[in-house]
Amino acid sequence: MGIGFGTLIKPLCLKPVARINGNLFQVRSSFMQQLLSLFSYCKSMTVDKDARVILIERRMLWVWRRRWHIPFLRVRRINYGFSDSFGGLARAALEFYTVSFILIGPEEEFPLFSFVGEFSEPATWDDVLIYGERALYWGSEGGQAAGSREFVLLLQQFTGAPLA
């Protein structure tokens, strides 16, 4: 018996880690995301409700850092996107949730974080019946759907920005 594609993908639910510290909402790339990039990439974000500002830092290729200071007034709305990718013959799928800000002055999309993991629902009952034991993987949620929703709700709560 071989290992199904879902078994391999399940531990690779990629989502940032977040914490709330008083009026600060802090988010950063997870250890797994950093490991997969050989620690060459890391993104962190702090939403300061009192100062009404968002601080974002991105490190690329171990040494190049870029920092952004975004006042709440520049945030027009929060953009919450979804796409999926089917794995062909393996019949597995990945879900991709993306969260970004739509900024004003000038209007632009500013990507924040992505949430990636195994598809959380069976595509059809035929998939469950035909692939038997694979059904155990289809019905289990990787955490990316719930994690991205919770992230968006907290972002709305801290910034007051509407959801697109």
The one-digit pLDDT tens for each residue of the chain (164 residues) are 333 333 444 446 788 889 999 999 999 998 888 888 899 999 999 999 999 999 999 999 988 999 999 999 999 999 998 887 665 545 557 788 899 999 998 889 999 998 887 765 544 444 444 443 333 333 335 577 788 889 999 999 999 999 87
Instruction: Identify the pLDDT of residue 83.
Output: 80
Cα 56 to Cα 46: distance, rounded to the nearest angstrom: 6
The encoded tokens of residue 90 equal 């393996």
Whether the CB-CB separation of 75 and 45 falls below 8 Å is answered with no
**What pLDDT, on the 0 to 100 scale, is given for residue 88?**
52
Quote the pTM value: 0.74
List strand residue ranges (DSSP E) for 12-164, in order. Answer: 17-21, 24-28, 41-48, 53-60, 64-71, 75-86, 93-103, 108-118
So what's the pLDDT on residue 36? 85
DSSP bridge partners of 77:
102
> Which ranges in the chain belong to alpha helices (H)?
5-9, 31-36, 125-131, 135-138, 144-159
Helices (H) and strands (E) in the chain, counts: 5, 8
Per-residue pLDDT at 94 = 76
What is the predicted pLDDT for the residue at 145?
Answer: 79
